[in-house]
Amino acid sequence: MKKYLIAGLLVWLPLAITIWVLQAALGLLDGVFGWFLTATQAVLPEGAAGTIGLLRQIPGLGVIVLLAGLLLTGVFAANIVGQWWLNQGGRLLAKIPIVKSIYSSVKQVSDTLFSSSGNAFREAVLVQYPRQGSWTIAFVTGKPGGEAAIHLSGDYVSVYVPTTPNPTSGFFLMVPRADVIVLRMSVDEALKYVISMGVVAPPVHPMNAAPAIPVARAAAPEPVRN
C-alpha cells in the first residue's frame, strides 16, 4: 500500500503545485488589474461603472491585458520613435533622487540578463564551493569589472551560485577561469537539477557538442613525486 500511495503522490503532487503556482500568479495579475480599474473609474464618467464592473468579473483578463501591453510596448520600443521617447523617459527618471538609483540599477541588470548579445546566464559550469573538493553548479554571468578586476591578477570569470530549492537567492563569486568546469547541459536543465536538489539529473550530452562560452576546464592536479 505504501508503494501505491507514493506512486499516487508522485502523479498528483507536480500537478497540484503547478495549479497552485498558476493560481497565485493569476490572482496577483488580476489584483493589479483590479487596482488599475479602480483608479480608472475615478476619472471616467459614471456611466462607465457598469462596464468596469463587468471587466472585473472576467477571470484571467489581467493576464491578457498584461501580454497585450508587453506586446504593444515591444512594438513601440522596436522603432526609432519609440526608442527616442524611451530615452527621454529614462533621462527624466535619472534626474529624480532615489528613483534614479533604483531605476538605473534594475535597468542595467535587466539589460545584461535579457540582452540577446550578452553572455549572462548563457552557460552552466561546475565550481568548487564552499570548499576545495566540494562541487556545485553555477552560472557564468560575465567577467569581473571595475575596481575588483584591478585587484585580481590573471583570468577570472564571474559566476552565480544558486541555492536550492529556491534558485532566486544565491552567491556571487569571482573564480579563476582554470578552476571552472564547463557543463554541456543547458541552463534550463541545470536549473531543474538545482531545484530538485539533484534528484532530476539531466541527460548526458554527446562530447562533441561545443560549449557556448570558451571557459577553460579545471586544471588536473600534478602527480606527487617522491
What are the tens digits of pLDDT across the range 88-142? 888 888 788 887 777 777 776 666 666 555 556 778 999 999 998 999 999 998 8
Residue 174 above 90 pLDDT?
yes
Work out how many domains the chain is built from and give that number. 3
68 with 46, same domain: the answer is yes
19 with 39, same domain: the answer is yes
Range of the domain at 129: 124-195
CB 153 within 8 A of CB 178: no
Name the amino acid, one letter, at 189. Answer: E
Q: What is the mean pLDDT of residues 76-86?
A: 83
Residue 218 above 50 pLDDT?
no
* Residue 92 belongs to some domain of the structure: yes
100 with 66, same domain: the answer is no
* Residue 59 belongs to some domain of the structure: yes
According to the model, what pLDDT value does residue 126 have?
Answer: 94
What would you report as the CA-atom Rg of the chain, rounded to the nearest whole angstrom? 24
98 with 161, same domain: the answer is no
59 with 74, same domain: the answer is yes
49 with 20, same domain: the answer is yes
* Residue 200 belongs to some domain of the structure: no
> Using alpha carbons only, what angle is made at residue 130 by residues 124 and 132, rounded to the nearest 5 degrees?
95
Using 50, 70 and 90 to split pLDDT, how confident is the model at 215?
very low
137 with 190, same domain: the answer is yes
136 with 152, same domain: the answer is yes
* Residue 215 belongs to some domain of the structure: no
According to the model, what pLDDT value does residue 135 have?
Answer: 94
* Residue 6 belongs to some domain of the structure: yes
The model's pLDDT over 39-77, given as tens digits with 9 standing for 90+, comes to: 666 666 665 666 666 666 676 677 777 788 778 888 888
According to the model, what pLDDT value does residue 114 have?
Answer: 61
18 with 33, same domain: the answer is yes
Please say which residue of 93, 118, 143 terminates a domain: 118
103 with 40, same domain: the answer is no
According to the model, what pLDDT value does residue 60 have?
Answer: 67
According to the model, what pLDDT value does residue 223 have?
Answer: 46
According to the model, what pLDDT value does residue 17 have?
Answer: 81
30 with 70, same domain: the answer is yes
Residue 25 above 80 pLDDT?
no
Please state whether the peptide bond connecting residue 130 to the residue before it is cis, i.e. omega within 30 degrees of 0. yes
* Whole-Å CA distances, 144 to 98, 141, 172, 177: 27, 9, 11, 11
* Residue 150 belongs to some domain of the structure: yes
Residue 211 above 60 pLDDT?
no
Average pLDDT score, the chain = 77
Q: What is the mean pLDDT of residues 192-214?
A: 72
71 with 23, same domain: the answer is yes
* Whole-Å CA distances, 13 to 19, 20, 102, 144, 192: 10, 10, 39, 42, 16
* Residue 223 belongs to some domain of the structure: no
- pTM score: 0.55
According to the model, what pLDDT value does residue 42 have?
Answer: 63
Residue 212 above 60 pLDDT?
no
* Residue 214 belongs to some domain of the structure: no
